Amino acid sequence: MITLLDWGQVNQKVSNFRETMALKSRSDAFIYYCLNHILKIDLDDITSCVTDGKFDRGIDAVFIESSVDKKIIHFFQMKCRDEFKPTVRNFPSEEINKILSFLDDLLKKSEKMEGTCNPLLFSKVKAIWDLLYQEPYDVHIHLCTNAQKLAENFRKPFVEALAKRGDLISLFEHDLAVFSLLELGSCKKERTLSIKLFEEQNFERTDGSMRGLIGTVKAQELITFLTDESSPSKIDKFLFEENIRLYLGEKNEINSKIYNSALSSNAAEFWYLNNGITIVCDSYRYLTSQTNAPVFIKNPQIVNGGQTSFSLFEAYNRDFKKLEKVKVLVKIIETDDAEFRSRIAEATNSQTMIRSRDLRSNDNVQLKLESTLNDHGYFYERKSNQHQDKPHIQRIDARKAGQIMFSYYHKEPEKAKSASEKIFGEYYELIFDPHSITAERLLTCHKLYQDIEQQKNLVLQNMKTKLQAHYSEAWIVEGIFHVLYMVGHLCERDSIALEEYKEAQTKVAEAIQIVDTFVQKQKGASAYRIFRSAGTKNALKIFSPAQQTEMIFKSQEA
């Protein structure tokens, strides 16, 4: 049952969003709060997701997750209560029919959608039609409220109705109790867990302040270690707070192999085929002379092996008997050196293509940028939401910094948009080259981005208050990095140094006009598609608003 204490905890976080983002209402702040917690995306991306307003058809936000490993379309409906009333308990059931009606028109590609959706929502619809034409996507329906979730007598028929519309559609509910637990989870807690090593084939070494233990555990013993004590059917996510990678889901190719290997007839080979897990901790202790010795671990964190952990947990829930022969290699490292813990995480995860900005958060370049930008009056966020208590206008997110520099200085706007997960991976040395980057160079493109962002926000407000709009009004949500790219191109055309903000600023309006005219000539193609094409930047570079060129992007057939 939700309590006043739960309400106060979450309400304060929502209030913080409203203050730091200078938002007009608590409802707006609640939307930002939900999207930030659920999707883990930065605040500028959240602004582009929000479709709430007149003619939103029950859809308050849309986010398209389109990476190598994840193909998901997220739809959100939020309901924010202004005060705590235990009698007002459940998500309003009248919203269900709105969502179902929207999904029906979306899946049927109904022509009436343009006339019933606000322009921002319809721009998302066009993008989704483009994507569904190419390949299947999972669809996640999120119901979010700071009260209680949908009543069971409404939830069951809603889930059944969604199932009739496709087996890739799933419902996710986020209520006050869920958000309260999320906030509780963000608080560190001291604890000691134990895990039993298998037999006596262990190896331990000590090097000064570093101490490590390598051994083997049975899969079932690992599952016990991973299980959330308060919810036995779930994995303990507190164990992964320092893990730089997110679990990608069973459908990911790597996880599927781990999952299938554990359940196969060759499960005994698992120890030899899998890299195992790495645990860092404040300290550990065990009896060296004892067979199957329990190791008591203070404040354990699994920094590598998240995929293994989650996949085995799923396999155990599927068929626990088949895991009897599975054994897992475990490395336990004791250290109180935060930098060394970070280097362990980086070294043990660097063999994968998935990289996180947290992997580089303690890099010297990042630390120096943070220090210098602080002198300029800005708060540089090496880690996500590092300065969430500071005004949004003074915060510079590291990932966003990489994107805008990639677009402006390195002329790669489509990669900045669609391959942002590589900003701190294969593109890191190029973008954050200490021989070419300075805080001042970053500030120039950051300020230019803010100028364009301001224009985008004006468009967004306009799009939410009327039913129809010219096609050209929607594109800036998707094309902001291409405008920044065009500003750089126009500066070079007119011999203006890219680092000179005041002179470069004079080119913003012209850049917007060029991109706007270009997009208008591509009617029938979604902005989502246009600005993810590698050919768009080259087409823009030679495009003249006066010329009558043929459309570059053809619309998809119905």
Listed by start position, the domains of the chain span 4-185, 192-354, 364-542
pLDDT at 56: 92
Query: In this model, does residue 387 exceed pLDDT 60?
Result: yes
Give 359's pLDDT tier (boundaries 50, 70, 90).
low
The amino acid sitting at 9 is Q
Average pLDDT over residues 108-118: 91
Look at 360 and 280; give whichever has higher pLDDT: 280
If pLDDT is split at 50, 70 and 90, which confidence band does 239 have? Answer: confident
Domain 4-185 matching CATH 3.40.1350: the answer reads yes
Choice among 47-56, 219-228, 233-242 with the minimum mean pLDDT:
233-242
**Residue 43 predicted with pLDDT over 70:** yes
Q: What integer pLDDT is reported at residue 352 of this predicted model?
A: 41
Write the DSSP assignment of 439-481 as a string of letters: HHHHHHHHHHHHHHHHHHHHHHHHHHSSS---GGGTTHHHHHH
Structure tokens, 304: 């590598």
Q: Using CA atoms, how far apart are residues 132 and 124, in angstroms rounded to an integer?
A: 12
519 contacts 478 by C-beta, under 8 angstroms:
no
- DSSP label at residue 10: H
pLDDT at residue 479, as a whole number:
92
The sheet that has 277-281: what strands, in order across it?
203-207, 210-218, 327-334, 277-281, 301-304
Give the model confidence (pLDDT) of 255-279 as tens digits: 566 777 777 878 788 888 888 999 9
pLDDT at 401 over 50: yes
Contacts of 452 (CB under 8 A, 6+ apart): 476, 480, 483, 484, 487, 508, 512
What is the structure's pLDDT at 558?
39
Q: How many residues are given for the chain? A: 558
Tens digit of each residue's pLDDT (9 = 90 or more) over 53-72: 888 999 999 999 887 667 89
When comparing pLDDT for 242 and 24, which is higher? 24
pTM of the model: 0.62
Range with top average pLDDT, 74-83, 107-116, 173-182, 439-448: 439-448
How is 214-246 classified by DSSP, letter by letter?
A: EEEEEHHHHHHHHEETTEEEEE-GGGGTT-SS-
Share of the chain above pLDDT 90, in %: 39
pLDDT confidence of 181, banded at 50, 70, 90? confident
Confidence at 187, pLDDT banded by 50, 70, 90: very low
Confidence class of residue 124 from pLDDT cuts 50, 70 and 90?
A: very high
Q: How far is CA 215 from the centre of its chain?
A: 34
Residue 94 has pLDDT above 60, yes or no: yes
Residue type, 404: I
Residue the block writes with tokens 């224009």? 455
Whether 85 shows a pLDDT value over 90: the answer reads no
